């Protein structure tokens, strides 16, 4: 039982670390570049993003932890796609905030969305609970895609 908790904390830690690494790019750009952009009317206040992503990364970690303990066929493929979407998640931050390119980030976030959806499908076959834990992430990424498009459109 203790090993299950350790495993879960490990995966939450991996996901939260990706978020913290991405925040290095975000925190440098918010007071400068991002702060000067025209904001879409649907853009939430900047302070919303930290808590939302902290929760989403925790849900992602719990989901991956559940799948990592499965013995069924398909686990390796599911976890591989999970890690690929995690890399894409990080890269979006690098592209949008680090490279300051909303257009390139828009293309990237559509790819990310597809990888999240595929992860959910693959995880569903192993654990519906693990798949459902990723639905808020997909919904937030859907919103972020619209937001990304609007940032590009009004600042283009």
Q: How many domains does the chain have?
A: 1
Give per-residue pLDDT as tens, 89-119: 999 999 999 999 999 999 999 999 999 999 9
Task: Name the pLDDT band for 88 (thresholds 50, 70, 90).
Answer: very high
The total number of residues shown for the chain amounts to 156
The half-sphere exposure of 73 on its side-chain side, counting CA atoms within 13 A, is 0
Q: Is the pLDDT of residue 142 over 90?
A: yes
Report yes or no: 61 and 14 within 8 Å, Cβ to Cβ.
yes
Report yes or no: 126 and 70 within 8 Å, Cβ to Cβ.
yes
Q: What domain range includes position 93?
A: 2-155
Q: Is the pLDDT of residue 2 over 90?
A: no
Give per-residue pLDDT as tens, 112-128: 999 999 999 999 999 99
Encode 51-82: b = buried (16+ Cβ within 10 Å), e = exposed: ebbeebbbbbbbbbbbbbebeeeebeebbebb
pTM of the entire predicted model: 0.94
Q: Residue 106's domain is classified under what CATH number? A: 1.20.1260.100
Count of other CB atoms within 10 angstroms of residue 20: 12
Comparing 7-11, 47-51, 69-73, 82-86, the range with the smallest average pLDDT is: 69-73
Task: Please work out, in degrees rounded to the nearest 5, the angle formed at the alpha carbon of residue 114 by the alpha carbons of 112 and 116.
Answer: 70
Average pLDDT value for residue range 42-54: 94
């Amino acid at each position: 039982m203790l090993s299950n908790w350790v495993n879960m904390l490990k995966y939450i830690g991996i996901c939260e670390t990706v978020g913290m690494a991405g925040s290095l790019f975000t925190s440098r750009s918010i007071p400068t570049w991002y702060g000067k952009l025209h904001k879409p009317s649907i853009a939430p206040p900047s302070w919303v993003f930290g808590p939302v992503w902290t929760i989403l990364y925790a849900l992602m970690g719990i989901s991956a932890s559940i799948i990592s303990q499965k013995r069924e066929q398909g686990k390796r493929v599911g976890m591989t796609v999970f890690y690929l979407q995690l890399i894409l998640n990080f890269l979006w931050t690098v592209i949008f905030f680090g490279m300051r390119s909303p257009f390139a980030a828009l293309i990237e976030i559509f790819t990310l969305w597809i990888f999240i959806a595929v992860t959910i499908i693959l995880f569903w076959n192993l654990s519906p609970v693990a798949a459902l834990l990723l639905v808020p992430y997909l919904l937030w990424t859907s919103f972020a895609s619209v937001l990304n498009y609007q940032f590009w459109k009004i600042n283009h």
